[in-house]
Every structure is written in structure tokens, then in C-alpha cells.
Amino acid sequence: MTDIEVVLTDLGEIATRELAKKHKSYGLEENKKIASVGGEVAKVARDDLENKLGASVICKENKLPYQYVEKLEVPKS
């Protein structure tokens, strides 16, 4: 995940949170609608940036330095 992907994710989440506060949404159905609007905010930002860059801002690679371990062995003391 690139820095831009992180920022866009944060933007969608923060927009959703602020919209939920403003509209005082209650219950699953109302919050699903608010979440959709918050996601739309991030989508508009992404589309605008991609249009200006002329390239996608989404990468297919995992940029995090994690290594997955199948089995964790505990050292004997």
C-alpha cells in the first residue's frame, strides 16, 4: 500500500465519521448510507488525482515490510 492509498483510505474513513456526526446517523442502514457517501469523497479525490497524474495511484504490490511465517517456533531456554 502506497502513501497515497493510505491517505485516500483515511480520507474516506474521516469523511464518513464526520458525516455520521453531522447527520446523527443511527442504526446499520443509516450508517451504510453515510459510509457510501464517505467512500464517494475518497473516490472523487482519487479520480481527480489520477486524472491530473495521468496514471493510477493504486499499486498491486504489498509495500509493507512484513514477512509471513507459517509456523512460529518458540526457542527453548
Give the mean pLDDT per block of 10 residues along the chain (77 residues). 90 96 93 96 97 92 69 72
Phi, psi of 55 (to 5 degrees): -155, 160
pLDDT of residue 62: 67
pLDDT of residue 71: 73
| Grid cell for residue 8 | 485516500
- The string over 23-44, giving b where at least 16 C-beta atoms fall within 10 Å of a residue's C-beta and e elsewhere, is eebeeeeeeeebbeebbebbee
pLDDT of residue 61: 77
CA distance 3 to 31: 27
